[in-house]
Amino acid sequence: MMAPKKIIIVGATSGIGRKMAELYAQKGCRVGITGRRKELLDEIQKAYPDGIETECFDVTGNDNIRHVKTLIEKLGGLDLLVYSSGVGEPSKKLEWRIDKPVVDTHVNGFIEIVNWTFNYFVEKNKGHLAVLSSIAAIRGNSWAPAYSAAKAFQSTYFEALAIKAERMRKKVVVTAIEPGFVDTAMAHGGDKMFWISTVEKAAKQIISALDKKKRKVYVTKRWWFIAKLMKFAPYWIYKRFG
């Protein structure tokens, strides 16, 4: 009988991260979840006392790796780490109070945890890294410049890690997930949003793609078409929408 899969989801108190944790726990996996809101972590753990372990911390702090190591010890190992932590709101006037936490969360906290975990997997010659980036990674967005730039950083970094793992001939899988609009608390866009996915549908598609060890994932699947349009649209057309 195979041992339960051991998974850490960084940023799982709400939205896609939380739903993924619940679905994995229901499948019998051992899941470590993190977040800033202890009451929400405790609520999830109470629902799955035999399947979920918690560590309460903010990825913008100075103790990220210690907390990740503690979760690995609680789980008895690690097979998959998903970086799901996210913040963001429109920055119409380019406000630093909005942009700074975006960079601290999506760039600084992200790269510290992912860099360490990649090397952890390289040493063991096995493991799977995933990040919840965004369709916003493809082009700059005037309504949320730091967010689109930070997501581009995540997706580009993951492409580089995928190449690095192959060149090192290590059995480390790297998956960048780029969702379109998902019905979460972070979703801002009002009437401009379309093809809005439920959190459950998005989480199920992501888990399916991770099981298949895909390198790039669009959620929902039809956002692949929008991604291509955004990528290849000339600037004079794209700027009307970006």
State the pLDDT confidence band at 112, using cuts at 50, 70 and 90.
very high
Report DSSP state, residue 144.
S
Q: CA-to-CA distance for 125 and 16, rounded, in angstroms?
A: 28
Q: Is the pLDDT of residue 191 over 50?
A: no
**Which of 35, 37, 1 lies closest to 20, judged by CA?**
35
In a domain, 11, yes or no: yes
Half-sphere exposure of 210 (CA within 13 A, CB side): 23
Q: Give the pLDDT mean for 105-129.
A: 98
In a domain, 30, yes or no: yes
Residue 178 is predicted with a pLDDT of 94
Q: Any idea which of 63-67, 83-87, 230-234 has the lowest mean pLDDT?
A: 230-234
Q: How many Å apart are CA 72 and CA 67, to the nearest integer?
A: 9
**Residue 81 in this model has a pLDDT that exceeds 90:** yes
The domain that holds 121 is classified in CATH as: 3.40.50.720
Q: Within a domain: residue 152?
A: yes
Q: Give the model's confidence band at 242: pLDDT under 50 very low, under 70 low, under 90 confident, else very high.
A: low
Q: Say if 76 falls within a structural domain.
A: yes
- Please provide the DSSP assignment of 89-156 as one string: ---TT--HHHHHHHHIIIIIIHHHHHHHHHHHHHHHT-EEEEEE--GGGSS--TTSHHHHHHHHHHHH
Active site residues per annotation: 147
CB 114 within 8 A of CB 150: no
Can you tell me the distance from the alpha carbon of 30 to that of 21, in angstroms, rounded to the nearest whole number? 9
The pLDDT score that the predictor gives to residue 4 is: 72
Question: Cα 35 vs. chain centroid, distance in angstroms?
Answer: 13
Q: For residues 89 and 187, what is the distance between their CA atoms, to the nearest angstrom?
A: 8
Residue labelled with tokens 């850490």: 8
Number of domains in the chain: 1
pLDDT reading at 52 higher than 70: yes
What's the chain's average pLDDT?
89
What does pTM read for this prediction? 0.90
Does 1 fall in a domain?
Answer: no
Q: Rounded to an integer, what distance in angstroms lies between the CA atom of residue 122 and that of residue 117?
A: 9
Domain interval for residue 90: 6-238
d(CA 27, CA 218): 23
Task: Give how far the C-alpha of residue 173 lies from the chain's centroid of Cα atoms, to the nearest Å.
Answer: 15
Q: Is the dihedral of CA 21, 27, 52, 159 positive or negative?
A: negative
Torsional class of 213: left (φ above 0), alpha (ψ -120 to 50), beta (otherwise): left
Amino acid at 138: I
118 found inside a domain: yes
